[in-house]
Amino acid sequence: MTSTNSVSTFTIHNQPHKTYRLRHLTTISPPYRHRNRGYTCIYPTEHQYLRSDDNGPWAHWIKLKQPKLIVAPMYDGSELPFRMLCRKYGAEAAYTPMLHSRTFAESKKFRSREFSTCEEDRPLFVQFCGNDPDILLEAAYQVESFCDYVDINLGCPQRIARTGNYGAFLMDDLPLVKSLVEKLATNLTVPVSCKIRIFPVLQDTINYAKLLEDAGCSLIAVHGRTREGRTRERADWDAIKSVKNAVKIPVIANGNIRHLDDVQNCLATTGVEGVMSAEALLDNPALFGGFRSGEWILDGEDGFEDGKLDRGDLVVEYLKLCEKYPVRWNIIISHVYGMLRKWFETHPDIRDDFNVKRDLSFEYLYSVVDRLRARGVRFPLYVKKTETQL
């Protein structure tokens, strides 16, 4: 039985019955003025981040047990039930999907619809996009008690980000980026992280990372592709390595992580603290648990065996988590599609039925898995016969 408490207008599940104070939410204060005044909340941030300590970023990272395997931010993809599924299968930290800071700061409805968490959902990065330091701070105040980093999205390359002037389009206005990071780093009680893309010229990327570090950023996640780079292109791990060597704060690598061998290769090549994965997790949320999609096993490659887990099992687990932690139906549908893609390709009639189905229910979604299973086809996930320890 789930006990759900609505605090601060978004949903925090399974709370212990303790009372903690939460920052005043309605106005932006000068640094520290109204810290911890007035509002009650029942979910604490255990740590207190010490800005005065030069080793703050590392002390914090160590306190979080140095997570290596991280779920990347995914709009309509890295919501609470999916994060919890990935955590069950080895993810050691996770990002929320990108949240628009202005809408988050202004709209209760948006907050309650788009952000939820629970006690086990840690370490957690809450990611915002935006280009106004005050508004970004207003949004960040609301989640700082529920996360381990407030993250700024500096990597979104999509047209909507160009129109809204956020994400990777802020690479054209580095003074503004600096002011965003400074504002959060000076005012929040949790550290600030940034997710960036690389510039076409390596030295520009290095300068960029140093600027973020100097502005108070405590962790940089580097997606090793340029703003114009396509996901199909190989991510530039050498550029990520150069960033790692140029800054003193923890660095996370992103791009081309499809299975645990990629994780090991990426850590060895770049020297970073951890890696994060997006697209491959949508297909296989058990990736960090050592499960590998057959797609990434070469013809004739030896050394793998059936992991006794298939995507039907994962869909069922995911749906149970969605029943416990409700999210929008379109998110659920897109995950079910993502995980069952291969099954649907071989049984298009079941997919077509799904496509035309109105009034979706959990019962119906479970029955889709049952029907696919009844056809007797399996697309197992594989494990290495001996998986070396990371």
**Which positions are annotated as active-site residues?**
156
DSSP 49: -
Which one of 170-178, 248-256, 266-274, 314-322 is the stretch in contact with ligand FMN (CB under 6 A)? 248-256
User: Considering only CA atoms, which of 324, 263, 260 is closest in space to residue 286?
Assistant: 260
Residue 254 β-bridge partners: 223, 276
User: Considering only CA atoms, which of 338, 272, 291 is closest in space to residue 77?
Assistant: 338
d(CA 243, CA 154): 15
Judged by CB under 6 A, does residue 243 bind ligand FMN?
no
Question: Binding-site residue total for ligand FMN (CB under 6 A)?
Answer: 22
Indicate which single residue of 280, 321, 327, 350 sits in contact with ligand FMN (rule: CB under 6 A). Answer: 280
Indicate which single residue of 77, 191, 250, 312 sits in contact with ligand FMN (rule: CB under 6 A). Answer: 77
| Ordered strands of the 292-293 beta sheet | 292-293, 380-384, 304-310
Indicate which single residue of 81, 229, 255, 285 sits in contact with ligand FMN (rule: CB under 6 A). Answer: 255
Tokens encoding 298 = 């070469």
Indicate which single residue of 72, 93, 219, 340 sits in contact with ligand FMN (rule: CB under 6 A). Answer: 72
Q: Which is nearer to ligand FMN, 41 or 129 (CB)?
A: 129
Judged by CB under 6 A, does residue 49 bind ligand FMN?
no
Judged by CB under 6 A, does residue 193 bind ligand FMN?
no
- Residue nearest ligand FMN by beta-carbon distance: 98
Task: Find the binding residues for ligand FMN in span 109-138 (CB under 6 A).
Answer: 127
Indicate which single residue of 13, 183, 223, 335 sits in contact with ligand FMN (rule: CB under 6 A). Answer: 223
Which residue has tokens 């104070």? 21
Q: Which is nearer to ligand FMN, 22 or 184 (CB)?
A: 184
H helix or E strand, kind and range, residue 93: strand 93-95
Alpha-helical runs (H) found in 284-328? 311-324
H helix or E strand, kind and range, residue 369: helix 362-374
Alpha-helical runs (H) found in the chain? 56-63, 80-88, 101-106, 108-114, 133-143, 159-164, 174-187, 202-215, 237-246, 260-270, 279-283, 311-324, 329-346, 348-356, 362-374
Rounded to the nearest whole angstrom, what is the least distance from the CB of residue 146 to ligand FMN in the complex?
Answer: 18
Judged by CB under 6 A, does residue 86 bind ligand FMN?
no
d(CA 154, CA 316): 34
- Which sign, positive or negative, has the C-alpha torsion 210, 150, 58, 22? positive
Judged by CB under 6 A, does residue 97 bind ligand FMN?
yes
Q: Which is nearer to ligand FMN, 22 or 260 (CB)?
A: 260
Indicate which single residue of 57, 81, 133, 155 sits in contact with ligand FMN (rule: CB under 6 A). Answer: 155
Judged by CB under 6 A, does residue 229 bind ligand FMN?
no
Site residues, ligand FMN (CB under 6 A): 72-75, 77, 97-98, 127, 153, 155-156, 195, 223, 231, 254-257, 277-280
